Amino acid sequence: MAEPEHTSDGHFVIINGRRWRATDPEIPPEPAARLRALLMAARRDVGAALRAQDAEAERDARGRVHLAKTALGERGDPWWDQTTSQRRQRWQSGLDALEHHDTRRG
């Protein structure tokens, strides 16, 4: 898959003419990959909950989507305004919470 176009400052990607906040480039490759995997699992769970008309499961899955996107720097305080320490804390806390949830699910 080709790398999406970025704005000149690197803060956003352009997809189909729309600007989206880019993932924090300082997240090391392994945790970034794990966060993306957990994000995709949460998105699949949103779809499954919608098909099952399970409002509680949908809320849970959407919460995990939000947590993953925040950990990746795509939501919340802009990563470019954060210190290196704050950025690390953001993605590490999000990863820890998502993995804790993942282990509880089985």
The confidence score (pLDDT) of residue 84 equals: 97
CA–CA separation, 2 and 18 (whole Å): 17
Neighbours of 100 (CB within 10 A): 9
The chain-wide mean pLDDT, for the chain, equals 94
Residue 3 pLDDT class (50, 70, 90 cuts): confident
Start-end of H helices in the chain: 29-52, 55-71, 84-105
Q: What pLDDT score does 4 carry?
A: 86
pLDDT band at 104 (very low <50, low <70, confident <90, very high): low
pLDDT the model gives residue 101:
85
| pLDDT over 60 (residue 106) | no
> Does the pLDDT at position 74 exceed 60?
yes
Tens of pLDDT, residues 27-49:
999 999 999 999 999 999 999 99
The dihedral over CA atoms of 43, 62, 26, 6, expressed in degrees to the nearest 10, equals 70
Q: H/E element holding 3?
A: none
Average pLDDT over residues 71-87: 97
Pairwise CA distance, residues 95 & 21, whole Å:
19
